[in-house]
Structure formats: structure tokens, C-alpha cells
Amino acid sequence: MKHIYLNLKRFDVPVELGGVNRLAPVKDWGAQVVEKTQGGLEKYDSAKVEFIQFLPEAHLPGAVAARKENSPVMLGSQGVYREDVAPGGNFGAFTTNRPAAAVKALGCEAVLIGHCEERNDKKGILAEAGVVNPEAVNRILNQEVRCAVAAGLKVVYCIGETAEEQPDWETVLGGQLDTGLCGVDTEKVVIAYEPVWSIGPGKTPADADYITKIARFVKERTNGMDVVYGGGLKTDNAGMLAAIPEIDGGLIALTRFSGEIGFYPEEYLEIIRLYLGE
């Protein structure tokens, strides 16, 4: 099974407010993402490839409503809280937070957990308290993963090393896997590898040999879990990633990185065509 994920971050913000959204007015944005992509994905065999689109929470109702019957598009949330609603327990006292039960109720089938931007947020909060403890971040993410799996959601669990951590990558990634997946039924989890040190303007992208090395390590550490490339599946690396047997898919974000940068549905479909070769 191949896995093609789309993480639209905060790409809903209009250009005039500093964002990159040229697709649709904010109120229609989630629906437009689904409407402009689901038709182009229908030609692919759902038994061989899955398509999950992770949207900011405000856009999930519109996106869910835009899905046609038997749509190839599954929808996901960009995170869950580390505690959840429970019968006879907390029935909803989660102001500002996003429990897994709420994500499920919105119509989502999946959740993205541990993205480098989420890890940085948690590290920053701990740093304000004078704490530098990567294992504490991994333990918090483990709670989120367990809540999501218990709610019946598929989980894309992200791991990755920074430039400072790269010399000790085995220990760093091993801890993220061992702690983050502790006590988890991994049948519903896919690992997304983000080489944080190589992501962003002016940085040298991870090459095929490095990505292969990490994917093999992850599969050995997790008894063969699926691994996708989370550092950005795009036009210029689709062929390279498709040629790595240990990589089971990729995570798409922006589709255009110069000029009028942003997410464009037709370019998203082209990236998928290049990666899948059909």
C-alpha cells in the first residue's frame, strides 16, 4: 500500500494578510481543496494507494461536505490533544484543545501527530519553563497517538532530526520511535520521516542514499512499519522517492515554491502522477 498525504498547514490565509491562499475565500477553502482534487484521484486503485488530506480544524466540516460518495479522499486533523472525551468521564472540558473524539465526530479518519512544527511548539513551551527534554516531548506525543488510535483514527506519526541532532540521529530517531509508539497498536500507524536539517530555503535536500538509510533503520526498529517521506514530496523529487523501495509514499505541502507560491490542486495531482507513474 502506498500512502499520499497532503498537509495544508495554514495555507488558508489570504495573500493580503501575508498568506499564500489564492485558491478560494477562506469560508470555501476546505471544500475547494476536496472538490478540485477528488475527481483526479478516482483513477487510482484504492487497494493500492490511499490519499489523506490534513486540514486545519475550521475547514474540516466544509471538506467533509464536499466529498462525493465513494470519494478517494480521506480527511484528517492536524493533531489531537493528549486526553480525550470519555463516557462517565470528561465530557468536553477541553477549551482550545482538540480531543480525538471531536476529530472523529467531524468526519475525520486520520490524524497527523509529531510534525516537526508540533515538536517545536512543545519544545518551546518546555523551554519557557527552563526544561530541555526531548523525551518529555516524545511522551506527550505518545499520549496523543494512543488517544487517536483508541478513537479509531489512522495515525501518521512524524519523526525527524535537526542539524544539531544529526550526528546522533540513531539515538534521536530511536527515542522518537520507541517512546512515541510505546503501548500503541501500530497496525493503524504510518511513520513519516522528516529530515528537519534539510528542509527550507537554502538547505541541501536529503539524498536517496540518506533517505534509504533512515527508512531501513525505521523498518528494522519497528518490525516493518510503512515509512513515507515527510520532507516534502514534490515535482523535483517524485521520481527519486518512487525509486526507493523502502519508501511507501510521501507528504505533500506546497506545490509551488517560487513566483506565486502556494498550493495548487492541478500541481498536486501532477506530483502524484509523477510519483505513482500513472
pLDDT at 200: 84
Please spell the DSSP secondary structure of 70-81, one letter per residue: T-SEEEEES---
Question: Is residue 246, in this structure, part of any structural domain at all?
Answer: yes
The pLDDT-based confidence of 202 (bands split at 50, 70, 90) is confident
* Residues facing 157 on adjacent strands: 113, 191
pLDDT at 114: 98
CA 231 vs CA 24, 127, 173, 250, 257: distances in Å: 26, 25, 15, 8, 14
What sign for the dihedral angle of Cα 276, 236, 156, 182? positive
Question: Is residue 244, in this structure, part of any structural domain at all?
Answer: yes
Q: Which domain holds residue 92?
A: 8-276
Q: Is the pLDDT assigned to residue 201 strictly greater than 90?
A: no
Give tens-digit pLDDT for 222-254: 999 999 999 999 999 999 999 999 999 999 999
Give tens-digit pLDDT for 8-37: 999 999 999 999 999 999 999 999 999 999
Three-state secondary structure along 89-153? CCCCCCCCCCCHHHHHHCCCCEEEECCHHHHHHHHHHHHHCCCCCHHHHHHHHHHHHHHHHHCCC
Question: Is residue 136, in this structure, part of any structural domain at all?
Answer: yes
User: Quick one: average pLDDT of 129-142?
Assistant: 97
User: Quick one: average pLDDT of 190-210?
Assistant: 94
pLDDT at 278: 80
CA 265 vs CA 8, 106, 241: distances in Å: 11, 23, 21
Question: Is residue 204, in this structure, part of any structural domain at all?
Answer: yes
Extract the C-alpha cell encoding 214: 533512515
Q: Is the pLDDT assigned to residue 53 strictly greater than 90?
A: yes
13 DSSP assignment? S
Instruction: State which H helix or E strand residue 67 sits in.
Output: none
What's the whole-model pTM score? 0.97
Question: Is residue 34, in this structure, part of any structural domain at all?
Answer: yes
Question: CATH no. for residue 96?
Answer: 3.20.20.70
User: Quick one: average pLDDT of 132-148?
Assistant: 97
Give tens-digit pLDDT for 115-128: 999 999 999 999 99
3-class SS of residue 15 = helix
The domain tally of the chain equals: 1
Question: Is residue 1, in this structure, part of any structural domain at all?
Answer: no
Q: CA-to-CA distance for 160 and 197, rounded, in angstroms?
A: 9
Q: Is the pLDDT assigned to residue 166 strictly greater than 90?
A: yes
Q: Which residues are catalytic?
A: 115, 194
Question: Is residue 227, in this structure, part of any structural domain at all?
Answer: yes
Nearest partner of 192 among 249, 234, 111, 121, judged by Cα: 249
Question: Is residue 50, in this structure, part of any structural domain at all?
Answer: yes
Residue 271 burial class via C-beta count within 10 angstroms: exposed 0-12, middle 13-18, buried 19 and up? buried
